[in-house]
Structure 1
């Protein structure tokens, strides 16, 4: 039997496991591109649309804060404007998706003990890792192809659309290999995620500094996200950066295979140090809080930085005043009824609410991971009741979006107060606007609770629900979807804040829906057996 025996079987098994998550996420990213491009083309029609758009948006696109977040404009045509946000954003999201796929088929399977059972059959030692690399690579290529198709179907140039797919694939391939290496170094899926996404954060920071700080552009070449940016879709349409991504993917994949040979099954090359033998955990809730404090703290820092960035960009929104098309687009996305600055804040808070929902969903999905690893069974063998344990997981997942969005509102409010001189009124106004988006995030968390409670083996479907909700609620109007369809998404009911009405009825409806989803999920989780292995 060869080292790679059984790869085909494992690939088919993994494809079946990912049959919901990967297609929905890939289609969601394609719709993201198509919706953004379609909205831009509708706002600036005609042969002189690019010139009018550049005249209206030029000053804002040179803002250092905007450059650090989205990178520079890749060209002077309407295609570059139509995909300005989605080039880098899509690359980041595809890197995250690649990380999820590779991690779940390597370290997560190993941690749960299923990989040991698989290895007992006619499967070579390297087959599971090779299968994970194949699945991750296929996910990246499929998503990149769908992204290119999404741009092309809106009428954008085929060459630029292909370059957009290449930009996404550049980052995605790197994180396929990088996550495979992280899975060999770490002993848990949680640590693998932290290492892989930590590298993504460093890459984003290096690229941001390179784009925003004069004379530091060389830093973008040290970041795979910078390589994606240098593809310049609908501009130079370079393919050289994709070669860097492919080479990195190959080198990291070979490195992961070599590292796997030097460790035992279930172990990692980096042994975690035991924590201090201090403190006491008197309840399952205390344990959940202790395990969640690290990720929530990191997300909190990220949201504070996002709040500072959004408030910094608000100072340059005045450049949009002479562009009624852009004002209409912001109003469509943000739904604000106040000033143009209020509309901008409402739009960005909607994006932040979707990110906060992702945090809540990730915390809920820790519960089935704890069950599969056997740790929940050991915990509940004591005095802890299953309903209390699962309720504690849900409580933390619901509190986390509220916390991080409040921090965002405070950070943005402080900067806005310094800009306008409104003092505490500015802080209170933006904190209220940020907190008002929390119920929309809670509905997605409630949907995840329902999935975990009723069908923990299909926990990945919670991510598919989140992606569908964000795409429909945020881009439904731009895609021409009927109001009844948009209303199915909680993000289609975001309040018109700041500057407009709070939408009390809609907010209460979201809270009621969340309560119902959580109650049904907790009841279902209490009535079923623990999922082990």
Structure 2
């Protein structure tokens, strides 16, 4: 038998396993026709629009050099933002957005991949599709291609937007590759998680945990490494090289680009993708390598009602978020004492912190910045808790519950209570450990903990507004629930990069967080604490009314 004849069956088998990939890709893009464009536009335009804003804000080489020096000289700021490798306008864009853009692209990618792999199997739709002319590897391939389309769109928009604003084309392309490459790597990790777990929620949780670990490794590495000089830059510490988020920064856009880092992204993504394909070939549709453990033979009394059921389904997630915020608060509180030394005499850095956290001293501004960051991240937990309703609905687990003596609104309110109360618990934990850690560093735990805890809890009206918006979309436009994540990402982007860009107040007010006072130290007005909860109540009421009247599923 000739080599060509021997290879023919293998090629035929490969084609058979990929049968239907094109149709599934078109279906995935149609289903994500709102979510993917929203993510691409918000992320791509946020990065691309930063060049002109930074050019206006730091209009001289001396200002940019001073900002870069102050950032690189302080370990705490390197942990938060990473080092500055170039004091050009493009270099400052890369410093500010390479890490954040990589994280947001990773979140976008894991949502896309898990939705079109494990979520399809969990709902039973994949089994129906597999009964037709659909190969075993077609669903995974279509999901990864959909993620590739989204990440390519982000990369092209970043590169084209920055180049059009006058930044060097090579650096613009490098930054686009850094963000899109990180997104594709985590898309491949999400594909692996989808093979390992039995639920879409667990697959997202595993990939999210990997993303959190990558960010923590990057922060620890940059904080422990020696200060680097802008435009020179020493070699990154080992911990940073263990993190894909660190790879995005160390591609060094606009600073003698290290193009071989793009090959590192490609190799790591290819290896993770190959692992995902190997796993999917060794399991049945609907099964997983980490099956859920069977529960007890008799249910406890707490499961007699919908709220108890919601708590049982969401308690692990809540405990994980609470533990994460406890650690984050303790870490941020430990560096708050040195906020003034972080800035030194650099007026530009001082202005950024004051725009982010208020005008009552740099320490209060730093604490307000940290509590605001905790508040924005809490919205991710709250929205995810609400959208668990949609997962229960599409997974055909809602109908057996609603077939009994349980009304739709009562069932939905069980999960909504977990979202509302859970977000308060998560924020209170982060604020408490932040206050205790900061108080311990200055020798005044009793006097410092209360104001910081109050500042953290003051973020709840904005969190609940986004929670109510998720309920509204769930009740009236259930197929568009994926777009809620783009709205949350937009609020995060505004809060994170808006102050650095000195965006006008009307732009900052597009986010509910832009209306809250900057505590501790800021002036308190009652208005946002009244109308934001009222707006949340309107959203929730309208969403529950729509949910009560529409078809389930």
Q: Same fold (TM over 0.5)?
A: yes
Counterparts of 2:128 and 2:194, CA distance in 1: 18
Per-residue CA deviations over 1:259-317 (Å, capped at 9, x if unaligned) read: 22221111113323224456331211111112212112221222222222332332232
Identify which of 399, 423, 428 aligns with 1:401.
423
Alignment match, 2:127: 116
Alignment match, 2:345: 322
Structure 2 counterpart SS, 1:508: helix
**Counterparts in 2 of 1:155 and 1:295: CA distance versus 1, 3 Å:** farther
Residue 237 of structure 1 pairs with residue 260 of structure 2: no
Counterparts of 1:330 and 1:150, CA distance in 2: 27
**Counterparts in 2 of 1:2 and 1:187: CA distance versus 1, 3 Å:** same
Counterparts of 2:198 and 2:76, CA distance in 1: 38
Alignment match, 2:5: none
Identify which of 401, 423, 443 aligns with 1:421.
443
Counterparts of 2:44 and 2:218, CA distance in 1: 24
Counterparts of 1:62 and 1:321, CA distance in 2: 10
User: Is contact 2:155-2:176 (8 Å) kept?
Assistant: yes
Alignment match, 2:229: none
Identify which of 375, 379, 388 aligns with 2:410.
388
Residue 258 of structure 1 pairs with residue 278 of structure 2: yes
**Counterparts in 2 of 1:133 and 1:222: CA distance versus 1, 3 Å:** same
Counterparts of 1:228 and 1:255, CA distance in 2: 23
Residue 301 of structure 1 pairs with residue 323 of structure 2: yes
Segment drifting more, 129-138 vs 256-265: 256-265
Identify which of 490, 495, 499 aligns with 1:468.
490
Residue 72 of structure 1 pairs with residue 88 of structure 2: no
Counterparts of 2:369 and 2:272, CA distance in 1: 38
Counterparts of 2:496 and 2:359, CA distance in 1: 17
Segment drifting more, 71-80 vs 136-145: 71-80
Q: Shift of residue 357 of structure 1? A: 0.9
Counterparts of 1:489 and 1:206, CA distance in 2: 30
Alignment match, 1:48: 62
**Counterparts in 2 of 1:151 and 1:296: CA distance versus 1, 3 Å:** farther
Counterparts of 2:271 and 2:437, CA distance in 1: 44
Segment drifting more, 21-30 vs 104-113: 21-30
Q: Shift of residue 36 of structure 1? A: 4.9
Unpaired runs of 5+ residues, structure 2, are 1-14, 227-235
Alignment match, 1:177: 188
Unpaired runs of 5+ residues, structure 1, are none
Alignment match, 1:17: 31
User: Is contact 2:377-2:492 (8 Å) kept?
Assistant: no
User: Is contact 2:61-2:88 (8 Å) kept?
Assistant: no
- CA-based RMSD of the aligned residues comes to 2.4
Q: Shift of residue 179 of structure 1? A: 1.3
Counterparts of 1:143 and 1:399, CA distance in 2: 35
Alignment match, 2:300: 279
Per-residue CA deviations over 1:299-345 (Å, capped at 9, x if unaligned) read: 122222222233233223213252232222333333x2311222222
Q: Shift of residue 210 of structure 1? A: 2.9
Alignment match, 1:27: 41
The two structures have a TM-score, normalised by structure 2, of 0.89
Per-residue CA deviations over 1:46-104 (Å, capped at 9, x if unaligned) read: 2333323234x24xx34333333333333344433343232112112211211111000
Q: Shift of residue 257 of structure 1? A: 2.1
Alignment: residue pair count:
527
Identify which of 19, 22, 29 aligns with 1:8.
22
**Counterparts in 2 of 1:203 and 1:326: CA distance versus 1, 3 Å:** closer
Identify which of 282, 287, 298 aligns with 1:267.
287
**Counterparts in 2 of 1:425 and 1:151: CA distance versus 1, 3 Å:** farther
Q: Shift of residue 392 of structure 1? A: 1.1
Q: Shift of residue 365 of structure 1? A: 0.7
Segment drifting more, 357-366 vs 500-509: 500-509
Q: Shift of residue 426 of structure 1? A: 0.8
Structure 2 counterpart SS, 1:83: helix
Counterparts of 2:220 and 2:503, CA distance in 1: 38
Residue 135 of structure 1 pairs with residue 146 of structure 2: yes
Alignment match, 2:233: none
Segment drifting more, 345-354 vs 443-452: 345-354
Identify which of 76, 100, 119 aligns with 1:89.
100
The two structures have a TM-score, normalised by structure 1, of 0.92
